[in-house]
Amino acid sequence: MLSFKNITSPMDQFEVRNLLSLDVPLLGNINMSITNIGLYLIIGVLIVLSLNLFATNNNKIVSNNWSISQESIYATIHSIVVSQINAAKGQIYFPFIYSLFIFILINNLIGLVKRCLSLFINIFIFKINKYLVKLYSTSSSATKYSFNNKNSYYLHPYYITGFTDGEGCFSISMYKDSRMLKGWQVKPVFSINLHSKDRKILEAIQITLGVGKIYKSGKDAIQYRVSSLKNLYVIINHLDKYPLITKKWADYLLFKKSVNLIKNKEHLTLDGLQKIVNIKASLNLGLSEKIKESFPNIIQVERPKVEDTEIKDLNWLRGFTEAEGSFQVVIKKSINKTYISLKFSISQHIRDKILIESFIDYLGCGKIYEPLGRNEIYFHIMTFSDIIEKIIPIFNEYPIIGVKKEDYLDFVKVAELIKSKDHLTKEGIKKIEKIINNMNSKRIQESNFSPSHW
């Protein structure tokens, strides 16, 4: 996608940035530089001088438009100075006040032009990106899956399902709206929320499915959202064909039931609204107090049972690991020795215990860990031979595409150092420590995530 570094806040335009810098070897190496603010002020001075030049009128009797406009400004400021300061003594301040007013006015206008230009460019690029998304999808919004494991542009369908099992959310928004027949607006939404550094994952999902939009949802957060009925059925068709296997499958079935009620216009009746409220009561965090007060006769719908937890394709594991997995290097030091080990882990809510436990049979290795007092379960592999012979070959063949990929590559580097016994030397330990200091949350992220870098 095209990208543009836009001004996200009106205050950002006052940030001082060097445009041209020159070190002069005089008087202790003087640094001379032109900043963006300095440039704006120079442009402001040039515009003021130009306006005065255009207004000279070459001594003609009939004034031109430039002269008339300058005379009007002159007369307006003069009347303010005379009336607000002093009719007699105020005159001595007039040249200064007039010059300052014109200078500030011109520079404010330059700031507005800069802001408007930024907005125009961003709108233009948004339209181009929207066109490109449509170009890469079919005219009927049909999905364009890639069954090549290493394609990170169009995604494998089971990758999308696995990632949705980890990060997807099915919700039904309800709020009062006097425009609606029964006074309530109902909006089903499928969404995926991520850190902005993983934007290219959401763009790949958007392009593959051909539906949805990506929104900024916080300082460093973005959201992929699908809310129109037509586009929601693209999601439904996908998940019917490539079903979820976590407990989120129950949320999906309830969500799908609500979408069908809305499609059939049942949400426009009180009976239909009550059905949707009963379904919403079993979704996510349930109902707000406001909805409970408005619909006192709630009969919570029973959540469907999730019986099929079989992993159908390694691409599901690829997508689920992208969402919930972690590649770590563990280093422990004693008085005489440094111990270095690798750890691959996947975490999930305890309600998916059966699925997480099935990883042991599916991969033929690993252990389960349940922290006391927490509703979490962890699958992890720390045996070096299992990591070298099973985990690394899997993710070489089925690579992840987000920023977690960088952690995986560092994970592999350390595995090679351990394999070659370099971790037993001081130099090798320093290399590993340097790698660890730039892994996971310590990593310095790049800001460019256009498809050309995929």
pLDDT for the residue 264: 92
What lies within 8 Å, CB to CB, of 39 at 6+ separation is 19
Hey, what domains does the chain have and what are their CATH numbers?
Answer: 10-117 (no CATH), 157-294 (3.10.28.10), 314-453 (3.10.28.10)
Is residue 188 classed as helix, strand or coil in its secondary structure? Answer: strand
- What residues contact residue 380 under an 8 Å CB cut-off, 6+ apart? 343, 344, 345, 346, 366, 367, 369
pLDDT along the chain (454 residues), means of 10: 46 62 57 72 82 72 73 79 70 77 78 62 58 49 76 88 95 80 83 93 93 89 93 95 95 95 89 90 85 87 90 95 93 85 94 94 94 91 94 94 91 92 89 85 49 36
Placement of tokens 């963006």 in the chain = 36
Q: Where are the alpha helices (DSSP H) in 314-378?
A: 314-324, 353-363
CA-to-CA distance for 370 and 393, rounded, in angstroms? 27
Q: By the 8 A CB rule, do 314 and 390 touch?
A: no
Rounded Cα–Cα distance for residues 341 and 386 (Å): 12
Question: What are the φ/ψ torsions at residue 380 (nearest 5 degrees)?
Answer: -140, 155
* Strands 213-216, 325-333: pairing kind: unpaired
Asked if 140 contacts 134 with a C-beta cutoff of 8 angstroms, the reply is no
Angle, nearest 10°, between helix axes 199-209 and 94-136? 50
CB-CB contact of 226 with 235 (8 Å): yes
* Close Cβ partners of 33 (under 8 Å, ≥ 6 residues apart): 18, 19, 20, 21, 22
Contact (Cβ atoms closer than 8 angstroms) between residue 145 and residue 154 = yes
Residue 42 φ/ψ, nearest 5 degrees: -65, -45
153 SS3 class: coil
pLDDT at position 129 = 56
Q: What is the largest CA-CA distance in the chain?
A: 97
267 DSSP 8-state letter: G
Structure tokens at 363: 């991969």
Question: What's the token pair of residue 400?
Answer: 């992840």
215 three-class SS: strand
